[in-house]
Amino acid sequence: MLIPLRDFCRSQREWLLETIESLVRLESPTTDKAAVDRCGAELTARLSAIGGRVTPLTRTDRGNHLLAEFGCLKSQVLLLGHFDTVWPVGQLDRMPLTRSNGRLHGPGVFDMKAGIALGMLATRALLETGAAISHRIVMLWTTDEEIGSGTSRQAIEEEARRSDAVLVLEPSLPGGALKTSRKGCGGYEVIVRGVAAHAGIEPQKGASAVQEVAHQILRINAVQDLARGVSVNVVKVTGGLRSNVIPDEARAIVDVRAPSAAAAAEVEAAFRALRPVDPRTTIEARGGFDRPPLERSDAVGRLYGQARAVARELGQNDLAEGGTGGGSDGNFTAAIGVPTLDGLGAIGDGAHALHEHVDIESLPDRAALIAGLIQRIQ
């Protein structure tokens, strides 16, 4: 049953590469709306060309997100991903788009323009081989994942609620393993206010916000519990004004990650419980978790089991699973209870790094895996 899908995907290897390259060539850093929309226009044309009904979700200060629908069955499967990248326009000069030694290099190729093209080829395979499917395919390609999905989260959750499963085409783990858990992540800004005074004339009247933030940094970092997968790290500190003034303000930026909703709640409680050592100072903690954890629920495990069975039938290596400390939009869809499988995108390496690339030979079979999985979802 799955072999025609695989053969079709293999026959479209060049189409796949050409599609990926066309998207990589149009650089799309999250904060450059005009550039992101140029990439979006190309993607829209290509989605339409393969039979998609494309609706832009227009945004004023971010690129427009793209929703594409294929087929008209009532139940739906959602393919989810983003076409913004962390690279500025011009990065192509430093990381040229090249095929060499079985690898396709370029900014944003692994994270995650190849994943988008894989979803498109999987959809083509199902439609053009006349495979029996029980769902329509909906794709949501967003433009602000790399900065926290502020303008897309609501649309992602709405579309996920209408779906029987969400397949996230973010990069795979090394070797092609899927991501069945992701930590929740977020950040805090801890603002300490003290009392300014002349550091030479009357230092006793001052309450140093910098000294207080030093106390708090040690307390905050002590919340970290790596054995349980909880990481809490002060990543930036600012404070003070000039050499002769006891500082009345200091700030600490904190990165937080937690593997479960319960652990995230503990971290949140720890921040709410921060109290000053010097009672003349005050502490305010702003922030929280932006992305809830993607926990390996039974539903996630079942979906992974189906993917593994499809991979076996396609004659692929055993499809492994793993977790990651980084978040994705899959965190949102899993947290509202929709079966979500992440890391179904390309095999490669170097997300957000200069050696970013995908492994060319594995691409067509990866599309076949996605197609086969869509076909199996009930």
Beta carbon of residue 70, minimum distance to Zn ion (angstroms, whole number): 23
What is the smallest separation between the CB atom of 53 and Zn ion, expressed in angstroms? 25
Instruction: Classify burial at 14, counting beta carbons within 10 Å of its beta carbon; exposed 0-12, middle 13-18, buried 19 or more.
Output: exposed
Nearer Cβ to Zn ion, position 84 or 268? 84
Choice between 105 and 182, CB closer to Zn ion: 182
Q: Of 224, 249, 229, 230, nearest to 239 (Cα)?
A: 249
**According to the binding rule CB under 5 A, does residue 341 interact with Zn ion?**
no
Q: Which of residues 59 and 179 has its CB atom nearest to Zn ion in the complex?
A: 179
Interface positions, 156-175, toward Zn ion (CB under 5 A) = 170
User: Shortest approach of Zn ion to residue 174 CB, angstroms?
Assistant: 16
Q: Which is nearer to Zn ion, 51 or 148 (CB)?
A: 148
Main-chain dihedrals φ then ψ at residue 179, nearest 5 degrees: -105, 105
Which part of the chain contacts Zn ion (CB under 5 A), choosing from 14-22, 53-61, 108-116, 340-348?
Answer: 108-116
The answer to whether residue 116 forms part of the interface with Zn ion (CB under 5 A) is no
**CA separation, residue 180 to residues 10, 40, 327, 339 (Å):** 27, 29, 12, 10
- CA dist 259 and 86 (Å) reads 25
Q: Shortest approach of Zn ion to residue 119 CB, angstroms?
A: 13
Residue 111 engages Zn ion in binding (rule: CB under 5 A): yes
In terms of CB distance, is 111 or 159 closer to Zn ion? 111
Of 16-24, 103-111, 161-169, 366-374, the segment contacting Zn ion by CB under 5 A is 103-111
Contact by Cβ (8 Å): 319, 178: yes
CB of 187 to Zn ion, least distance (A): 18
DSSP 59: -
Q: What are the phi and psi torsion angles at 88 (to 5°)?
A: -75, 160
Decide: is 356 part of the binding site for Zn ion (CB under 5 A): no
Q: 250 pairs with which residues across the strands? A: 192, 239
Please tell me whether residue 365 binds Zn ion under the rule CB under 5 A.
Answer: no
Of 111 and 248, which CB lies nearer to Zn ion in the complex structure? 111
> Distance between CA atoms of 301 and 321, rounded to whole angstroms?
10
Is residue 220 within a helix (H) or strand (E), and if so which, with residue range? helix 209-221
Task: Select 170 or 321, whichever has its Cβ closest to Zn ion.
Answer: 170
Which 3 state secondary structure label does DSSP give 323?
A: strand
Residue 342 interacts with Zn ion (CB under 5 A): yes or no = no
As measured in angstroms, the least distance from the Cβ of 46 to Zn ion is 19
CB of 244 to Zn ion, least distance (A): 48
Q: Which residue is nearest to Zn ion (CB)?
A: 111
Number of residues that bind Zn ion (CB under 5 A): 3
Contacts 24+ apart (CB under 8 A), 47-56: 47/120, 47/139, 50/120, 50/123, 50/124, 50/127, 51/127, 52/123, 52/139
**Residue 112 interacting with Zn ion (CB under 5 A):** yes
What is the per-residue DSSP string for 86-136? SSPTTHHHHS--EEETTEEE-TTIIIIIHHHHHHHHHHHHHHHTT---SSE
Counting contacts by CB under 5 A, is residue 329 touching Zn ion? no
Does 118 engage in binding with Zn ion (CB under 5 A)? no
Nearer to Zn ion, 170 or 212 (CB): 170
- CA Rg, the chain, in Å? 24
Give CA torsion, residues 97, 101, 102, 103, to 10 deg.
-30
- Give the binding site for Zn ion (CB under 5 A): 111-112, 170
